[in-house]
Amino acid sequence: MKILLTGHTGMVGRNILEHPSAANYIFLKPSRSEVNLEHKNEVLNYMKKHQPDLVIHAAGMVGGIQANMANPVDFLIKNLDIGRNVIMAAKAAEVPTFINLSSSCMYPREAKNPLKESYILKGELEPTNEGYALAKIVATRLCEYITKTHEGYKYSTIIPCNLYGRYDKFSPKNSHMIPAVIKKIHDAEKNRLPAVEIWGDGKARREFMYAQDLADFIFYAITHLDKLPQNINVGLGTDWTINEYYQTIANVVGYKGEFIHDTSKPVGMKQKLIDDTLLNSFGWKSKTSLKEGIKKTYDFYKNVVLND
């Protein structure tokens, strides 16, 4: 099988390519200089020339709460353009199967947890990442429409919970919570700071999965494409408080200081836990515990990122 992987230099893409099962497939992984995903004709020409059997769409502009709040226009427009261009080019090139990677940010801010796939577009979005979420919703709906109206096309969407792991971004300005906290606590330990600040009261709950587990799911899905649902949540089905994440990371790093809370800062949704009913029926479960995943991610930060 020949697979076009967009976003191959990102965290998800690199974890896919590092997975042992990647050796069983031919991967097309064009650089930005070969094809700019924001340019419709470049994407279409590449797709028609190389004729992949499957597209895994993992490209996009990503970031944490600070980045989303600072750049809502880019998070909406860039992700909207990229998603539309890749999906429609695949259809025009008659690529029969497509795996679209979306985000649990699509779910309404007041939706009841755990979040079911049927909740998409059933309420107001979380304002702190609304632009990103809108772009992901459009791509998800587009895949649904193509599958429903064009015989022989199966374009499915994977909705991962929050992710972390090897090749993550560790900059507080554009990273997600876990890598940002790893850097923050590492620096606090290195500089012998007595306390580390947590935004909000730390009681908001989040579900984070190790990125290599998502890669494992994707290869499982490839071998079970006939049974892959139209939209499917992929996560742990369990969550922890922000305070618990900070404490687990502190334990791994060896930091003994205190935590102080700044309740004036935004925290986003109070809880974001995916419903894993469809995932369990599909027959897959994640393998990496929180402590194990954080330890592997911290080892990557110390041994690779800091030595770059």
The catalytic residues are 132
User: 159 to each of 57, 114, 156, 217, how far by Cα in Å?
Assistant: 12, 13, 10, 12
CB 97 within 8 A of CB 49: no
Cβ–Cβ under 8 Å, residues 266 and 65: yes
Task: Report the C-alpha gap between 305 and 87 in whole angstroms.
Answer: 33
Strand, coil or helix: 76: helix
Distance of CA 188 to the CA centre of its chain: 27
State phi, psi for 9 to the nearest 5 degrees.
-90, -5
Residue 261, classified by CB atoms within 10 Å of its CB into exposed (0-12), middle (13-18) or buried (19+), is middle
Q: Which residues contact 244 (CB under 8 A, 6 or more apart)?
A: none
- Is residue 7 within 8 A of residue 56, CB to CB? The reply is no
Phi, psi for residue 127 in degrees, rounded to 5? -60, -30
- Give the Cα-Cα-Cα angle 80, 83, 88 (nearest 5 degrees): 120
Nearest-angstrom CA–CA distance, 299 and 306: 10
∠ Cα 248 275 15 (to 5°):
60
- What number of other Cβ atoms are within 10 A of residue 287's Cβ? 11
Find residue 2's DSSP bridge partners. Answer: 26
